Amino acid sequence: MNRKWKSRVEVALIYLFIAFMFVVIAYPLLWTISMSLNPGTSLYSASLIPEKWTFEHYKWLFTSPQSDYLLWYKNSLFVAAANAVLSVLFTALIAYAFSRYKFVGRKTGLYLFLVLQMFPSLMAMVAIYILLNMLHLLDSLWGLILIYVGGQIPFNAWLVKGYFDTIPRELDEAARIDGAGHFGVFFRIMLPLAKPILAVVALFNFMAPFTDFLLPSIVLRDPDKFTLAVGLFNFISDRFANNFTRFAAGSILIAAPIAIVFLFLQRYLISGLTAGGTKG
């Protein structure tokens, strides 16, 4: 009896702690939602439970002639899609070569990737700015895409290579005996079998432009070319409290779709990361 009672207290305590975590997690998120539904634009007058619910900020984002929100959404989608497609392509090519072929510089290349993924891109910002300036790609979405695609290679090439390594070599040998060439093996064996990890890479690179604000804020100058993160940041960066409710509304419209996609796919993310991480 005593033991059963002890176990019950334990379970209750566990639930209590989990409930506490729920509150800690939910509070800022609910607070953001309620901010976005508050009338007025200031943080000061807003309250957690608004006296009058309003969708005026959402309406403003989509209908006001001063709002560039839809344009930013379009820019972000464009950068995200281009980044996802190009990143998967370049990364898969590199990972295939590193996983299946012997060539001079292979080991060096692998180590190079490992070292480079440790270095934050911020350290290279000045040079990237000057380089883009020289190439006349400053203030251009393509310039941004170029940097994203190049910068993701060290990390993702490593990840995808790790996954390719787990695909049995007997499969590509069999295909070669059946007369498949280098491209044949790549397109008909490796790519279809590596779909899960390629999906992970595509997803990572699709989401990155929505949430990254540092690089676009350095590369992009013209408000017409802003991505969502930069645009939203500008709502609150100059006059802090003034447009917070509008910022909240705009943020929720990015965060909600990303969070939903993410929750559906997080299991694959985790398995992809651990596969690449431990197989190395």
Q: Where do we find the tokens 């930013």?
A: 72
Positions 16 through 45 that interact with another protein (CB under 8 A): 17-18, 21-22, 24-26, 28-29, 31-32, 35, 43-44
Binding region for another protein (CB under 8 A) out of 6-14, 63-71, 73-81, 190-198? 6-14
Least Cβ distance, residue 180 to another protein (angstroms): 13
Do 152 and 205 meet the contact criterion of CB atoms below 8 Å apart? yes
Q: Is 50 in the site for another protein (CB under 8 A)?
A: no
Least Cβ distance, residue 182 to another protein (angstroms): 5
Q: Is 270 in the site for another protein (CB under 8 A)?
A: yes
Nearer to another protein, 65 or 263 (CB): 263
Positions 92 through 131 that interact with another protein (CB under 8 A): 93-94, 96-103, 106, 109-111, 114-116, 118-128, 130-131
Rounded distance, CA 256 to CA 277, Å? 29
Pick from 151, 109, 152, 155: nearest CA to 131: 151
Least Cβ distance, residue 44 to another protein (angstroms): 4
Helix (H) or strand (E) holding 125: helix 125-134
Long-range CB contacts for residues 27-36, cutoff 8 Å, separation at least 24: 32/248, 32/251, 32/252, 33/248, 33/252, 35/244, 35/245, 35/248, 36/245, 36/248, 36/249, 36/251, 36/252
Q: What does the per-residue mask of binding to another protein show for 59-98, with x meaning CB under 8 A?
A: -------------------------------xx-xx-xxx
Rounded distance, CA 246 to CA 269, Å? 32
Least Cβ distance, residue 64 to another protein (angstroms): 21
Binding region for another protein (CB under 8 A) out of 53-61, 68-76, 196-204, 231-239? 231-239
